[in-house]
Chain A
Amino acid sequence: MSTPLEHDYIGLAATSSMERSSEKISSSSSSSIPSNIEDKTTNNPSLNLKETELRLGLPGSESPERKLSLFGKDLETNDKSNGFVGSPLKNLVSGAKRGFSDAIDGSNGNWVFAINGKSDVELGKGAVLASPRGGLDNKTNPQQVRTSVPVMKEVVGVPQSPKPVQDKKNLVPPVNEHASAPAAKAQVVGWPPIRSFRKNSMASNLAKNSDEAAGCLYVKVSMDGAPYLRKVDLKTYNNYREFSSALEKMFSCFTIGQCGSNGDGLSESRLMDLLHGSEYVLTYEDKDGDWMLVGDVPWEMFTDSCRRLRIMKGSEAIGLAPRAMEKCKNQN
């Protein structure tokens, strides 16, 4: 079948075999992928590879199109009662292999940004909620951040045990059914082969209102460890959420690609390094040349002052993301 071949070239096959051996959350999604494909024609969306994508969490960045169900319930609606925003669980359930989870505190624009390595260890510790702004320190919106952690623990059960994960294996297929096979396309660099100019024009066609003024604001985006930079037009996004999804699509290929390019010899320890490794932090350089954390200011102020972006490894984000660094140290 076509998709397994495609998996090989973007490394997902390595992923699924690895996951089977380690019985992690994401194995539930990856290993169910082939069977879904066989069942359906390629015309039919059957594959939620999105669940295995890296996620960059920015304020309000729950991606609305991702359906999420846990214990049969739809978690898409924001359960305000406990401040839980759904996305960390989404990653948990769907088994985002190396996903960034977005524990978003939608209302005040704070966001947290951490890799949800499919390890229960990280989740159990609420690593998912590591806020570069010290969200766990009760500085801002202590309520919502604090209460999300218990929710996480509830769901996860014993943090270190893979067992609760396996329960969720059964729950994953419903999520996957909603997904679409072409999801993988977004992860492949330079495919389909369309020139940047056209891509950017179409993106701005879709994103902008007809009344919006012409004009664009291209800024470079670099990611530590990626072989080349990208450019984004900030004017094509209206808020942090759209921006974050776009960045996810753009950069997910790098981490997944790193696995794939090792051929068939992907060692377990190497994969562990990637998964448990440093969290990523999204930062930008403002007009004054200072490096700031993305998400503090309203969107319009951000687009006005942002000169370029950098997706930093958390271990480097000293001073910007003290909690993130701490999480690194705790895990490794």
Chain B
Amino acid sequence: MEPSELKRSKDSPNSDESTRRSSFPDEVLERVLSLLKSHRDRSSVSLVCKDWYNAERWSRTHVFIGNCYSVSPEIVARRFPKIRSVTLKGKPRFSDFNLVPENWGADIHAWLVVFAAKYPFLEELRLKRMAISDESLEFLAVSFPNFKALSLLSCDGFSTNGLAAIATHCKNLTELDIQENGIDDKGGSWLSCFPESFTSLEVLNFANLSSDINFDALERLVGRCKSMRVLKLNRSVSLEQLQRLLVNAPQLAELGTGSFSEELTFRQYVELESALSNCQNMHTLYGLWDAKGIYLPALYPVCTHLTFLNLSYAALRSDELAKLLAHCPRLKRLWVLDTVEDKGLEAVGLNCPLLEELRVFPADPFDEEIIHGVTEAGFVAVSFGCPRLQYVLYFCRQMTNAAVATIVQNCPDFTHFRLCIMNPGQPDYITNEPMDEAFGAVVKTCTKLQRLSVSGRLTDLTFEYIGRYAKNLETLSVAFAGSSDWGMQCVMGGCSKLRKLEIRDCPFGNAALLSGLEKYESMRSLWMSACNVTMNGCRLLAREMPRLNVEVMKEDGSDDSQADKVYVYRSIAGPRRDAPPSVLTL
């Protein structure tokens, strides 16, 4: 920028509009705006005025699209010419739990075709719940010479052949992150497709896959990628192999071990412990598949600076967890299985005062005869010891209103409260009352609450509370709850910041659906399945709100008038054309 230009802008403080506008050159504005990373800030900026809108669109390099059908790739490419990184989310979240028909859509290919034409310098692609085929992966690999980072979470439709294409062709790849996908695992040979000259990988996550990979190829790959900071192995990698990898990669910041359970000689154990203790940068630990308690002490040297420990694939007992946590004072995030039971959670409360996030997963969610797992006592114990808790996901088989009230009193800073009482519609097991007061306490006390998942026996009162108090709530998940339309009406009327609402198996009907008429355009999406909504109600909604896509998925053998599964979302791209026959767009 020219000094004279600067001077000019300083000299004319009282200029009229046009001068004022030109006194702030686009280049300056773009430069300033390029420092803005948050896409919400960018959205706000783009609404200020036309110049700012333009400056923003020219300076944006990353676009986040929360619903791939809310916009078309052409529209995106037209508005943002300089995108280098794209994040796309596709299917409704309930597709993770098999509630969405196969072939529902969210295929990435159309997007890739447009990107190949408009963003040939695309570097990053992060997909969640999208369908991606091997052909698409190959197309991706050959169309973008600068491609650096691929992250696939909860996607499906591809196999390890697609990964092979990526490994073969992406010469500048820094990140390959394959997480929890429906991947067709045809074998581990894809890993050997990375050329010997390839050294740029920083993030490698293949924990999702189960086939054996060629360990020598992996060892060489890790050895030559000196910038590697995240390595998440799959179960087929043994402890002994882990040790060999760590010796060559002490710089790792995040490690996902393979299987943690073979028989080690004493010497092997010592070598493993030594290799781990050299990893001074390690702050995150995953994997630990089938972990045997006796080997956990090898982790102690790493534990002191750990901030995130994911034990959700290691069925540890309470004493094993307690011993481990005694060495993890700095822990901020902890994921465990409920095999640790309440006693294990007591150890969490005792040892991890800095804890901000806790997730407790059920080891045997479908076992009818289970009598252990965690109860309300464990959660309460954690709350006493960890006042900084913000995020909790808790699967349990019993809960009480009093316990939840105590918990939120101890931890008022919750932003994400996801409680899953696994038996649908189960009341407070001591008083036999509905769990209304529990969630009432949550929303009254936790004013920063952004995300809430409710469970247990709930009447409309819960939703009255939510509508009245949860003013910052953005995401709400409801299952087997409520007594009438009034419940949902309270939520639609009261939660002004609501963006995502997903409901299943609740007695909410057309009146409830239509009460949100004004609201759906300010939301990302609404999902209602196994409720009392009818086709007529959906048609009415579609008619009144033309900028919403109202999609109904019918189930075999159901009544013609029932709308079994409804998915409503705002879109500027109009109704989609790739819906399968089971999905009707109204």
Which A residues form the contact surface with B (CB < 8 A)? 1-3, 5-6, 9, 41-43, 45, 50, 65, 179-186, 188-199, 201-202, 205-206, 210, 214-216, 218, 225-231, 249, 257-258, 261-263
Q: CA A107 – CA B299 in complex, angstroms?
A: 48
The answer to whether A9 and B365 have CB atoms under 8 Å apart is no
Q: Are B368 and A179 in contact (CB under 8 A)?
A: yes
Q: Which residues of B contact A182 (CB under 8 A)?
A: 367-368, 370, 397, 422-423
Contact indicator B369/A196 (Cβ below 8 Å):
no
Distance of B230 from chain A, by nearest CB (Å): 19
Taken together as a complex, chains A and B put the C-alpha atoms of A41 and B364 apart, in Å, by 21
16 contacts between A and B (CB under 8 A): A6-B424, A43-B398, A43-B429, A182-B368, A189-B98, A189-B99, A191-B424, A193-B96, A193-B420, A194-B362, A195-B180, A202-B365, A210-B261, A214-B235, A227-B582, A262-B559
Contact assessment for A206 and B555 in the assembled complex, using a CB-CB cutoff below 8 Å: no
Are A9 and B427 in contact (CB-based, < 8 A)?
no
Interface residues of B (CB under 8 A from A): 94, 96-99, 101-102, 154, 180-182, 184-185, 208, 210-212, 234-236, 259, 261, 289-290, 312-313, 315, 361-370, 395, 397-398, 420, 422-427, 429, 432, 456-457, 477, 479-480, 504-505, 530, 553, 555-559, 562, 564, 582
Q: Are the C-beta atoms of A9 and B480 separated by less than 8 Å?
A: yes
Closest to A235 in B: B210
In the bound complex, residues from chain A placing their C-beta under 8 Å from that of B582 are: 227
Q: Across the interface, name the chain A residue whose C-beta is closest to B558.
A: A261
- Identify the interface centre among A179, A186, A193, A216: most chain B CB within 10 Å of its CB: A193
Question: Whole-angstrom distance between the alpha carbons of A9 and B361 in the complex?
Answer: 25
Q: Which 10 A-B pairs have the closest CB atoms?
A: A190-B97, A2-B425, A197-B180, A214-B236, A9-B505, A5-B425, A180-B368, A183-B368, A6-B424, A261-B558
B562 and A261 contact, CB distance less than 8 A:
yes
B395 and A192 form a contact (CB under 8 A): yes
- How many whole Å from B219's CB to the nearest CB in chain A? 18
A-B contact count (CB 8 A): 160
Chain A residues positioned under 8 Å from B555 (CB to CB)? 227, 257, 261
- Please give 5 more A-B residue pairs, beta carbons under 8 A apart, in addition to A5-B457, A9-B480: A2-B456, A182-B367, A185-B368, A198-B361, A199-B365
Q: Is the CB of A228 within 8 A of B97?
A: no
Instruction: Tell whether, in the assembled complex, residue A195 and residue B99 are in contact, meaning their CB atoms are under 8 Å apart.
Output: no
Residues of A within 8 A of B181 (CB): 197
The complex places the Cα of A87 from the Cα of B235 at a distance, in Å, of 38
Query: Given that A6-B480, A228-B98, A261-B559 are known contacts, is A192 also in contact with B259, CB under 8 Å in the complex?
Result: no
Instruction: Give Cα distance in the complex from A262 to B559, angstroms.
Output: 6
Judging by beta carbons under 8 Å apart, are A181 and B182 in contact?
no
Cβ–Cβ contact B457 & A230, under 8 A? no
Contacts of B395 on A, CB cut-off 8 Å? 192, 194
Chain A residues lying within 8 Å of B456, measured Cβ to Cβ, are 2
CA distance A96 to B76 in the complex (A): 55
Contacts of A43 in B (CB 8 A): 397-398, 429
Bound-state CA distance A249–B368 (Å) is 11
Residues on A with beta carbons closer than 8 Å to the beta carbon of B367: 182
Q: Report Cα–Cα, A199/B97, bound state, in Å.
A: 10
Q: Taking the nearest CB of chain B, how far is it from the CB of A307, in angstroms?
A: 12
- Which B residue sits closest to A48, measured CB to CB? B368
| Distance between Cα atoms of A3 and B369 in the complex (Å) | 17
Task: Tell me whether A45 and B364 are in contact (CB under 8 A).
Answer: no
The distance in angstroms between the C-alpha atoms of A259 and B398, with both chains bound, is: 29
A186: contacting residue among B315, B366, B553, CB under 8 A: B366
Query: In the bound complex, do residue A2 and residue B424 qualify as a contact, i.e. CB atoms below 8 Å apart?
Result: yes
- Nearest residue (CB) in A for B236 is A214
CB-CB < 8 A to B289: which residues of A? 201, 205
Q: Is the CB of A190 within 8 A of B99?
A: yes
Task: Tell me how far the C-beta of B522 lies from the nearest C-beta in chain A, rounded to whole angstroms.
Answer: 26
Which among A181, A192, A231 has the greatest number of chain B C-beta atoms within 10 A? A192
Contact between B211 and A214, CB atoms less than 8 A apart: yes
Q: How far is the CA of A281 from the CA of B154 in the complex (A)?
A: 32
Residues in chain B near residue A180, CB distance under 8 A: 368-369
Identity of the chain A residue whose Cβ is nearest the Cβ of B103 in the assembled complex? A228
With a cutoff of 8 Å between Cβ atoms, the chain A residues found around residue B361 in the complex are 194, 198
Of the listed residues B290, B423, B562, the one surrounded by the most CB atoms of chain A closer than 10 A to its CB is B423
Residue of B101, B210, B432, B557 touching A214 (CB-CB under 8 A)? B210
Smallest CB–CB gap between A264 and chain B, Å?
Answer: 11
Cβ of B117 to closest chain A Cβ, rounded Å: 34
Contact A181 B102 (CB under 8 A): no
Measured CB to CB, the closest approach of chain B to A45, in angstroms, equals 7
Most buried by B among A2, A194, A229, A261: A2
Q: Which has the most chain B C-beta neighbours within 10 Å: A201, A214, A229?
A: A214
| Contact present for A191 and B479 (CB under 8 Å) | yes
Residues from chain B with Cβ under 8 Å of A229 in the complex? 102
Find chain A residues with CB under 8 A from B97 CB: 189-191, 193-195
Judge whether A42 and B429 touch: CB under 8 Å.
yes
Q: Are the C-beta atoms of B425 and A185 separated by less than 8 Å?
A: no
Question: Which residues of chain A come closer than 8 Å to B425, judged between CB atoms?
Answer: 2-3, 5-6
Given known A198-B361, A225-B556, contact A42–B102 (CB-CB < 8 A): no
Q: Which residues of A contact B429 (CB under 8 A)?
A: 41-43
